[in-house]
Amino acid sequence: MADPKDWFTEGLAHIWLPYAQMRTVPAPVAITRTDGSRLYLADGRELVDGVGSWWTSVHGYNRAELLDAARDQMARIPHIMLGGLAHEPVYRLASRLAQVTPGDLTRTFFTESGSVAVEVAMKIAIQYFRNTSGERRTKFVSFLGGYHGDTLATMSVCDPDEGMHHMFRGALQEQYVVALPEARDQIRALETLLASDKKIAGVLIEPMIQGAGGMRMHSPQVLKTLRRLCDQAGVLLIFDEIFTGFGRTGEMFAANRAGVTPDIMCLGKAITGGITPLAGTIASARVYSAFHSDNPDHALMHGPTYTGHAIACAVANAGLDLFADGSLLKRVKKLEASLTAALAPAKDLESVADVRVLGAVTAVEMAESFPLEAARKWFIDQGTFIRPLGRTVYLSPAYGIGEDDLARLTGAILKFASAGISEIG
Ligand SMILES: *Cc1c(COP(=O)(O)O)cnc(C)c1O
């Protein structure tokens, strides 16, 4: 393997890193190998990974079943386009997603990134009304604290502060980004909004957990309320399950955990266990039926070059195999209990404002803000890879993480909350 000093130092002069002021961003940690929940550094250290590479690596790194599926597919058909040609993995995956998702969600359109999956959901909603009632419904309602992607259309439905709306004013469509319908007046306000603006096509939410916004959790009642209000107003309910899907909440989807079926659901991240990019937008039979006609103008107008990438779909099928016997979801429920127990002491700390756990997610929200980069470095010094969001220190570990590794992660968080935060000042 090449000395990281070569590729890393040379490349650092040319790469443009995500969400980074390149002049001041601390140099990333060069990793030379991954395995399970571990990241191996060039200098011989190893870190327990609490993040799972932007929440994708739910089966741990280098999981043999997923790697074998990728290798097998690569040897046979790495990829062929879906226009006019068909390959097995994507057709199989579409059938299997129809089975594992709740209700009558039955028709999947594949893309390569979550942001695009959300954009496709928005296009489906807009075209749905064109194709049925002929209405020009083009606006969306989404929620404060929400995150749906970084492309122009998805930024417009993100939390205005976190989504940096001020930087892109004029480029973003105006949407309604409102409070979650938790209290009675919030429910009322949303009901009134949906009744008053006939331009609204859909309501978009990250069900159960708003991830990037700081692992904020809400009650399933919120989703039941949304289902009722959307039905009443005749608008579509869209669940963005790009973070919550594939077992993260302890059920296959957050929709299952809440007992609510949306009209459209967006999938991504963990769908391939982090091995390759893949995302999907799955629509209900009713929504799909608005596109299924003799009118060519009723077709869904979207078609990315790599839609239904064969290797990605083969890996996704192998990922679904890992869920098939139900033991993985049981494991997530166990993880939920372990995380709850391990972080219970944090509740009594004055420095801690809130401790939240749901499935394989935990968030410890600190009472005061702290220097993020210093905290991130502090966690690396503890042998962990933990990257707080705002005031929230969170974990989204691989479902099969070992007890010792989990203890190292939760121990580091407790230490940070009780003493570390003063060390990094
Ligand atoms: C990550 C994420 C996205 C965006 O997915 P990308 O693959 O990064 O484009 C959208 N919605 C949610 C809820 C996410 O967590």
Query: Which CATH number covers residue 344?
Result: 3.90.1150.10
Which ligand 1 atom sits nearest the alpha carbon of residue 212?
Answer: 15
CB of 147 shorter than 6 A to ligand 1: yes
248 lines ligand 1 (CB under 6 A): no
Among candidate residues 323, 342, 361, the one where a domain is terminated: 323
Give the rounded percent of residues in the chain with a pLDDT score beyond 90.
94
Question: φ, ψ for residue 103 (rounded to 5)?
Answer: 60, -145
**Strand partners for 355:** 364
Taking the centre of ligand 1 as the mean of its atom positions, its distance from the CA of residue 2, in whole angstroms, is 32
Predicted local confidence at residue 421, as pLDDT: 80
**pLDDT surpasses 60 at 1:** no
Domain count, the chain: 2
User: Of residues 61, 128, 147, 399, which has the active-site annotation?
Assistant: 147
Query: Does residue 211 have its Cβ closer than 6 Å to ligand 1?
Result: yes
Taking 90 as the threshold, does the pLDDT of residue 118 lie above it?
Answer: yes
Inter-CA distances, 330 with 56, 156, 268, 335, 407, Å: 19, 37, 22, 9, 19
Atom of ligand 1 nearest to the CA of 113: 7
Judge if 338 and 399 occupy the same domain.
yes
pLDDT at 4 exceeding the cut of 80: no
Is any ligand 1 atom within 6 A of the Cβ of residue 115?
yes
- Among the candidates 323, 340, 374, a domain finishes at 323
Could you list the beta-strand ranges (E) of 206-325: 209-210, 216-217, 236-240, 264-267, 279-284
Closest ligand 1 atom, CA of 211? Answer: 15
Site to substitute for ligand 1 among 53, 158, 242, 253, most atoms within 8 A of C-beta = 242
Q: Is 405 within the bounds of a domain?
A: yes
User: Confidence band (pLDDT; 50, 70, 90) for 101?
Assistant: very high
Give the pLDDT score at 58. 98
Note down the domain range covering 394.
4-62+332-424
**What's the order of all strands across the beta sheet hosting 392-395?**
352-358, 361-366, 392-395
Share of residues in the chain with pLDDT > 70 (%): 99
Ligand 1 atom nearest the C-alpha of 151 is 9
134-150 confidence digits (pLDDT tens): 999 999 999 999 999 99
Which of 323, 354, 385 terminates a domain? The answer is: 323
Q: What is the mean pLDDT of the chain?
A: 96
Give 162-182 pLDDT, tens digit per residue: 878 889 989 999 999 999 999
240 is catalytic: yes
Supply the pTM of this predicted model. Answer: 0.97
State the pLDDT confidence band at 425, using cuts at 50, 70 and 90. low
